Amino acid sequence: MTLIHEEQLKNFIDGKWVEPSSGKATAVINPATSETLVNVPLSAASDVEEATSAAKKAQKTWALVPAPQRAEVLYRVGLIMKERKERLSQLLTMENGKVIEEARGEVQEGIDMAFYMAGEGRRLFGQTTPSELKDKFAMSVRAPVGVVGIITPWNFPIAIATWKSFPAIVAGNAVVWKPATETPIMAYELAKIFEEAGLPKGVINVVFGSGSTVGEAMIEQEDIRVISFTGSNEVGRGIAGKCGQRLKKVSLEMGGKNGVIVMDDADLSLAVEGILWSAYGTSGQRCTACSRVMVHEKVKDELEERLQKEIAKLSIGNGLDESIKVGPIINRAGLEKVKSYISIGKEEGAKLLTGGYIMENGNHKKGNYFAPTLFTDVKPDMRIAQEEIFGPVVSLIPVKSFEEAVEINNSVEFGLSSSIFTQNVNQVFAAQRDLDTGIVYVNAGTTGAEIHLPFGGTKGTGNGHRDSGVAALDVFTEWKAVYVDFSGKLQRAQIDVE
């Protein structure tokens, strides 16, 4: 089956498929096979300028379309995605490497988001509140921000795009979107779906190209009033600084160092399953991936043994094969980064139980495969227990008590996701209160967010905003307070109050 029909993707600006003004492009590589899938434009700043003016023009009309009608487009987008789910999933596996089962899950997340945000077209609730004066009416309404810029990473190329673009569009904004250069195919497919669903031209514009050119140019555009970014902490901090200087609203989601707590009364079979799924799924390249396990010393030996046994059973390879459980790392740089943490862990004195190497034999040498890795006797302050590795590497940290586990969980720079395995109801409630992360799971791993809840984290994970759920609307709307005085005379607030 030929899934990709083009040799080179084009930008989508003002409803037209156009070549980048730079004339430059780069290859998109399948991380499972190292084959070139397609070429993607490396656009110039002038392409961003063109996209922004198209968005500005389109937004004025789009904002006047009643929100329930705007939502109709999202319903149609959801239906087309549903119809094309298998094709999108296969393309996603080819460009990103995640196994097909997970790719289907990711596409489903986008479909769910389409229907959920379409529902918001009939809500977009504001508030009415009494006025302090007679014959006066007060309310607050959500107003679109105008043109919004979204910058997305390669690890969830379609789900994260839907978390950001769908709320922006239903709220009456127009979008300029820069997808990750590593994974442009999902962006191309989604733009085509928007086109087919009848989204007016200019409401979504896709500009392919590098972060340093296209991303930076988006920040420079005065008419882009919001930047919503998911990616690395380093890049996110840079974007925040530049947006701060320009008084531009910025929403950041920047990963984690997510921990699972396994108490001495935990159902260990369940804990093993939860750790495997959240640590080695997407080869550990999820911002919510489990990379630390705080295990009670009474069950440490048994957990180590069981995890090693299950890790040995994981099949690693091209995710298009349904029997494969762990796919490749996105690129060589990612692979080398993961490898470097193995030496760091060993030098710091952690004990390597399994994995820890690049897989280079047989079919594995064609792609970027890293063996699922487990360290034990890790100290909470070691670098492997503090820094985001973004690969299939887990550190077991022995603990003596619930309190110690919570303290270690909270002792990192990030605060995205955490989890606890226990049967003790008191500890469950104390954990959901005391774990300093934006997401807490009980008797499940650190992954599995549902689209109608807020997604994001505390501390170095972000800057207080949330993707997904109704909270996403706060990023893409301004609160407007409206006062209607029907007394027929000038009434002065705070002064003419009896």
Q: Which residues bind ligand NDP (CB under 6 A)?
A: 151-155, 178, 180-181, 210-212, 215-216, 230-232, 235, 238-239, 253-255, 287, 334, 388, 390
Q: How many CB atoms lie within 10 A of CB 31?
A: 30
CB of 433 to ligand NDP, least distance (A): 25
Which CB, 159 or 431, lies closer to ligand NDP? 159
Instruction: Say how far apart CA 226 and CA 243 lie, in whole Å.
Output: 9
Instruction: Say how far apart CA 64 and CA 60 lie, in whole Å.
Output: 7
Strand order in the sheet with 290-296: 351-354, 373-376, 393-399, 290-296, 258-262, 417-421, 439-442
CB of 50 to ligand NDP, least distance (A): 18
Which CB, 172 or 231, lies closer to ligand NDP? 231
Which CB, 173 or 285, lies closer to ligand NDP? 285
Instruction: Say how far apart CA 83 and CA 429 lie, in whole Å.
Output: 42
With a CB cutoff of 8 Å and minimum separation 6, the contacts of 123 are: none
Which CB, 155 or 251, lies closer to ligand NDP? 155
CB of 221 to ligand NDP, least distance (A): 12
The DSSP code for 445 is: -
Residue given tokens 């009033």 in the structure block: 225
With a CB cutoff of 8 Å and minimum separation 6, the contacts of 157 are: 92, 95, 96, 179, 180, 183, 185, 186, 187
Which CB, 291 or 427, lies closer to ligand NDP? 291
Indicate the residue whose CB is closest to ligand NDP. 211
Which CB, 32 or 431, lies closer to ligand NDP? 32
Residue given tokens 């040799």 in the structure block: 7
For residue 200, CA distances in Å to 62, 148, 165, 186, 452 come to 8, 16, 14, 20, 26
CB of 212 to ligand NDP, least distance (A): 5
Give which of 384, 109, 436, 421 is closest to 278, Cα–Cα: 421
179 alpha-carbon distance from chain centroid:
12
Give which of 116, 107, 117, 113 is closest to 82, Cα–Cα: 107
Give which of 39, 35, 34 is closest to 9, Cα–Cα: 39
Which CB, 287 or 405, lies closer to ligand NDP? 287
CB of 232 to ligand NDP, least distance (A): 3
Residue given tokens 């590589």 in the structure block: 29
Which CB, 164 or 364, lies closer to ligand NDP? 164
- Amino acid residing at 479: W
With a CB cutoff of 8 Å and minimum separation 6, the contacts of 188 are: 6, 9, 12, 206
Catalytic residues: 253, 287
CB of 236 to ligand NDP, least distance (A): 7
Q: How many CB atoms lie within 10 A of CB 41?
A: 26
CB of 280 to ligand NDP, least distance (A): 16
Instruction: Say how far apart CA 455 and CA 438 lie, in whole Å.
Output: 7
Q: How many CB atoms lie within 10 A of CB 81?
A: 24
CB of 81 to ligand NDP, least distance (A): 21
Which CB, 250 or 405, lies closer to ligand NDP? 250
CB of 252 to ligand NDP, least distance (A): 9
Which CB, 210 or 354, lies closer to ligand NDP? 210
CB of 213 to ligand NDP, least distance (A): 8
Residue 52 φ/ψ, nearest 5 degrees? -70, -40
In this structure, the strands spanning 136-144 and 477-485 are antiparallel
Instruction: Say how far apart CA 449 and CA 230 lie, in whole Å.
Output: 16
Q: How many CB atoms lie within 10 A of CB 425?
A: 9
